Amino acid sequence: MREAVADLLASVGLATRGYASVTEFRERDDPACPGCLVLDVRMPGSSGFDLLATMTAEGNRLPVVFVSGHGDIAMAVRAMKAGAVDFIAKPFNDQHLIDAVNAAIRQDGVRRRADRAVADAARRLASLSDGEWDVMRLTVEGLRIKQIADRLTISEITVKTRRARMMQKLGATSLMELLQIHSLGSTRNGGARGGDFDL
Q: What is the CATH number of domain 2-114?
A: 3.40.50.2300
Q: pLDDT value at position 95?
A: 95
All structural domains of the chain with their residue ranges: 2-114, 127-189
pLDDT in tens, the chain (199 residues): 788 888 889 899 999 988 888 888 888 988 888 899 999 888 777 788 989 999 999 888 999 999 988 777 888 898 899 899 999 988 888 999 999 999 999 999 999 999 999 999 999 999 999 999 999 999 999 999 999 999 999 999 999 999 999 999 999 999 999 999 999 887 654 444 543 433 2
Going from the C-alpha of 108 to that of each of 63, 119, 127, the distances in angstroms are 6, 16, 29
Instruction: Determine the number of helices (DSSP H) and then strands (DSSP E) in the chain.
Output: 9, 5
Going from the C-alpha of 14 to that of each of 18, 56, 79, 98, 109, the distances in angstroms are 13, 25, 24, 9, 14
User: Whole-angstrom Cα distance, residue 44 to residue 127?
Assistant: 49
Residues 95-104 as b or e (16 or more Cβ within 10 Å = b): eebeebbeeb
Q: What is the CATH number of domain 127-189?
A: 1.10.10.10
Instruction: Give the end-to-end CA distance of the chain in Å, rounded to a whole number.
Output: 61
Q: pLDDT value at position 75?
A: 87
Q: pLDDT value at position 193?
A: 52
